[in-house]
Amino acid sequence: MKRTLLTLLAALTMLPALADEGMWLPSLISERIDDMRSKGFRLTAEDIYSINQASMKDAVVLFDGGCTGELVSPEGLLLTNHHCGYDAIQRHSTVEHDYLTHGFWAMSRAEELPNEGLNVRFLVRMEEVTERLAAGETAEELIRKAEAEGEGYKASVEQMYYGNQQFLFVYEQFDDVRLVAAPPSSIGKFGGDTDNWIWPRHTGDFSVFRIYASKENKPAAYSPDNVPYRPKKFFTISTRGIAEGDFTMIYGFPGNTQEYILSDAVDYIAERSDPAKIAIRDGRLGIIAEAQASDPALRIHYAAKHATIANAWKKWQGEVLGITRRGTVASKKAYEEAFDRWAQDKPEYRRVVSDLKAEYARIMDPYFAREITLETLAALPGKYTPEERAEELFARREPTERALWRYLFGEYARRCPAEYQVPTFLDGVAEYGSPEAYAEQVFQQVWSGSDTTAVNALRRDTKRMQEHIVWMLGTKSLRNLTSSRLNALYTTYIRGLREWDGERAFYPDANLTLRVAYGSIAGYEYADGEYHKPLTTLDGIIAKDNPEIYDYDIPQALRDLYASKEYGRWATEIDGRRTVPVCFLASNHTTGGNSGSPVLNARGELVGINFDRTWRSTMSDIAFDPSICRNIGVDIRYVLFVIDRIGGAGYLLDEMKFSGKK
C-alpha cells in the first residue's frame, strides 16, 4: 500500500510540531548549522565541534558521571549546578561548618576543598564505527585502542537509533576536582521541593569547582603539588543580558530519552509505572522530612537523600500530567498506525508494530516487579558501615531507619506482582504475620550488625529474582521498559520510520553523550489565558521570602542588598524597576544530565546555567511539545551577583572573560 499525501499529513498533525526539538550529535552538527543560523546563531559548526582546533566541546565536561559543567577561566574554574555539587557540599558540611545552610567560599586556592571520587571528563573525539564493527572489530578492541592513546583516556561505544549507527566516544578524565564556592541552600536550592520543576523560578542553582592537573597539564590523582588545569577553551561570559526571542544553545550530556517508543510504553509509564513510584516515594519523603524537622544534624544527614528522592518523584508527576493533558498516547498510536498501514506491502516492516506490541504485553509485569523492587527492598541498605556506626549521629537515626524498613516492606508486599515476589520474603511474612513485623526482624539484624542466615537469604533471593527478570527480558540495560527482543525490533522500526517519514528530523535518543540543543528565550501559555513571561528577578525572591520556612529563608545579606538597591554592575532596569535578573525560560530540548549545562547566546557566550524544566516539560523525554516544553536556566548575572555581593568572592571574577556584546 502506498502512502498518500493525505495520510501522511493526517499522521503528522497528530504529533507535536518539531520546532526546536532535538539533541544533536556535535560531530554531525554541520547538518543542522543552516537551521541554527536561520534562527540567529552567528558561529560555525567548527566553533561547536572540532578535533583539529579548540572548540566549544573543549569547554564542556561530564561532571561526576551524571551532570554537565563548563569552564569559565584559563585556570580551570568550572560552573555547574548547586544540586550537581550537592553531595560534595554535604560531605564537607558539619553542624559546626554547615556549608549547605550558610554556603562555602574559598578565599584562596589553599582553601579549595578536594573531593574523593569526583571526576570530570572532556570529550576528545567521537567517530562513527558502524562499518568497523560490521567488518569484525569488537567494541572491546576499539575501546582498548582508544584508551591507550593518552593518559587518563576513557572510551565507550554507544548505540544510536537503536543500533542502526554506533559511535566511539573518547574522553580525557581528570580526578582532582576541588570545591571552590557554593551559595547558601536558601539561594542554591531556593524554593526546595515546592518550586522544583515549577515556573516562575527564583533558584540560584550553581556551584563552583576547579579542575587540577599535573604540572604537565595532564590528569593526575589528587596531590598538593597539582596546579589548576589550563583548558584548550573556556567560555566568555555575556553580561549584556537576554530578551524573549533571543537565540539560545545548550551544550551538555543529556541522560535518557525515549522519543520513538510506542503508545503501549507511554501508557505503561503514565498509568502504571509513574503513579506507583510516586506513591511509594510520597511515604519515604514523609518519613525523612519528619526526621529532618526534628534535628538539625538529621536535616544535614538526610539532605542529599531527600533531594535525590524528591527530584524524580516530582518529575514523574509532571510527566504524567503532560502526557495526559497533551494526549500523547493517542497521538503516538495514530502515528504508529499510519506507519503500519504504509508497511503492509513491505515484508521487512509489515509485522514490526504488532511484534513490538506483543513483546510489550509479555514483559510489562516482570519489568514492573523489577521497578517496585528497586523502589522498595533495593532502596534499603544491605548494611550500616563501620564508618556510619562510629558517627555520633548514628543512634539518633534508628527511629527513621526503622520506619523506612517497615514502610518499604509493606509497599513491596502490596504492589509487587505476586508471581515475582521473593520466596524468602513471602516465607518471612507468613512466619511473622505481616510485612511490617517481618521488617522489624530484618531491621534489627541489620541495625545491630549481625550477619544472620535470614538476612543473607533475603538479600540472596532478592538478587536472584532480579537476575531472573533480567534473564526473562534478555538484557541488563533496563533503565527503561525494554528487552533484547524489543531492542532488535526497534532497530527495524526506527529504520522503517526514517524511510517512511522523510520530512521528520530524526535525532538519536539521549544516552549521556555530548549533544547540542538549540532554541530561544521563550515564555509560554501555562493554561488558558495564563501567559508566563520568560524572565524572573530578585523582586520575586523577596516576594517569596519567609524566615519561617527553611527553603524560603533567604540570607539577611540578600534582604539588605534589596533594601539598599546596591547591586553594583549587576543591576538591570526591568519594567522601570532597578533589580537583578534571576532565571529564564527557553525552548531548548533538555533532560536529566543537562543539569549544569551552559546556556549560550548566538555568539557562543555564556548567558546562564541550565538546571531544570517546567513541570509538564518532563514529558519531553517521551514526546517533545514546543507549546509547553521549556528548560529553565539561572541567569549568569545572578550567579555573578551572588559570588560578588553575597559570597564576597569577587576575586573569582578576575579570572573570567566578559563581553558586553549581545
**Which residues carry out catalysis?**
83, 205, 595
| Chain center to CA of 90 | 19
CA angle (435 as vertex; 434, 438 as ends), nearest 5: 90
Q: Answer whether 516's CB lies under 8 Å from 26's CB.
A: yes
| Three-state DSSP class for residue 388 | helix
Contacts of 609 (CB under 8 A, 6+ apart): 70, 79, 80, 81, 205, 206, 596, 597, 598, 599, 633, 634, 636, 639
Cis peptide before 114 (omega within 30 of 0): no
* Residue 189 CB contacts under 8 Å (≥ 6 apart), including other chains: 82, 83, 203, 205, 307, 551
Asked whether the beta carbons of 596 and 59 are under 8 A apart, the reply is: no
How many Å apart are CA 74 and CA 545, to the nearest integer?
37
Cβ pair 396, 297 in contact under 8 A: yes
- Peptide linkage before 16 cis (omega within 30 of 0): no
Pairing of strands 606-613, 113-114: unpaired
What is the spatial distance between Cα 603 and Cα 662, in angstroms, rounded to a whole number?
8
Report the SS3 class of residue 104: strand
For residue 238, the one-letter residue type is S
Q: Which residue has the cell 575501546?
A: 143
Spatial contact of 96 and 186, defined as CB atoms under 8 Å apart: no
| Rounded distance between C-alpha atoms, residue 257 and residue 24, angstroms | 13
Query: Residue holding cell 531492542?
Result: 487
How far apart (Å, rounded) are the C-alpha atoms in residues 342 and 360?
Answer: 22
Nearest-angstrom CA–CA distance, 401 and 254: 34
DSSP 569-620: GG-EEETTEEE-EEEEEE-----TT-TTPEEE-TTS-EEEEEEEE-GGGGGG
Please check whether residue 436 is in contact with residue 406, taking contact to mean a CB–CB distance below 8 angstroms.
yes
> DSSP labels for 424-441?
HHHHHHHHHSSHHHHHHH
Q: How far apart are CA 67 and CA 592, in angstroms?
A: 8
Q: Is 198 exposed, middle or buried (0-12, 13-18, 19+ CB in 10 A)?
A: middle
- Read off the C-alpha cell for 219: 590528569
> How far is 27 from 123, CA to CA, in rounded Å?
11
Nearest CA to 95 among 378, 330, 393? 393
**CB of 562 closer than 8 Å to CB of 540:** no
In contact, 606 and 638? CB cutoff 8 Å? no
Phi, psi values for residue 515, rounded to 5°: -140, 160
